[in-house]
Amino acid sequence: MLRDEIKLKLNECLKNKDKKSVSTLRLVLAAVKDRDIAARSNGNNSGISDDEVKLLLQTMIKQRKESADIYEKAGRLELLESEKKEIDIISCFLPKQMSNIEISEAVEKIIKETNASSIKDMGNLMNILKNEYAGRCDFSLVAKIAREKLG
């Protein structure tokens, strides 16, 4: 399980006295635990799945990228570097992200397979893409590319 990998990496970083990695991984585990508690209160006794953990990690990366952009615009380079390090630490638990070209090709492929022809087919198209490429791409970018190709 993904959460076990994160715990192992945390223990390794503790032994190596890598303070930045330790604090970032503790934040990740705290967020996972928080989601587990919420899932249990909704009747899911096993907590969240690995796919949900991946989505959580993607959200954390997205938040850090937004912060990094703000820090860069404000000239806060030390905070920018800190955010970039956190992004690197978190992203090592996710599958390799697809490039814009790969995303565009995937969207075209699904459009052809489903014979999607208008924006009305967007919901079905996005569901298929999310099922097939979960955790491997930024779906706000996927939606933008799909809109361009369908519109």
pLDDT tens for the chain, 151 residues long, are: 899 999 999 999 999 999 999 999 999 999 999 999 999 998 888 889 888 898 899 899 999 999 999 999 999 999 999 999 999 999 999 888 888 999 999 999 999 999 988 889 899 999 999 888 877 888 888 999 999 988 7
Return the closest-CA partner of residue 60 out of 22, 26, 99, 28. Answer: 28
Return the closest-CA partner of residue 3 out of 62, 49, 42, 58. Answer: 49
List the chain domain ranges.
2-91, 100-150
pLDDT score at 113: 92
pLDDT score at 140: 86
pTM of the model: 0.76
pLDDT score at 87: 95
Name the CATH architecture for the domain at 2-91. Answer: Orthogonal Bundle (1.10)
Torsional class of 8: left (φ above 0), alpha (ψ -120 to 50), beta (otherwise):
alpha
pLDDT score at 44: 84
Tokens representing 60 are 């954390």
First to last CA, the chain: 40
Domain 100-150 has CATH 1.10.10.410: yes
pLDDT score at 17: 95
pLDDT score at 90: 95
DSSP class of residue 94 equals S
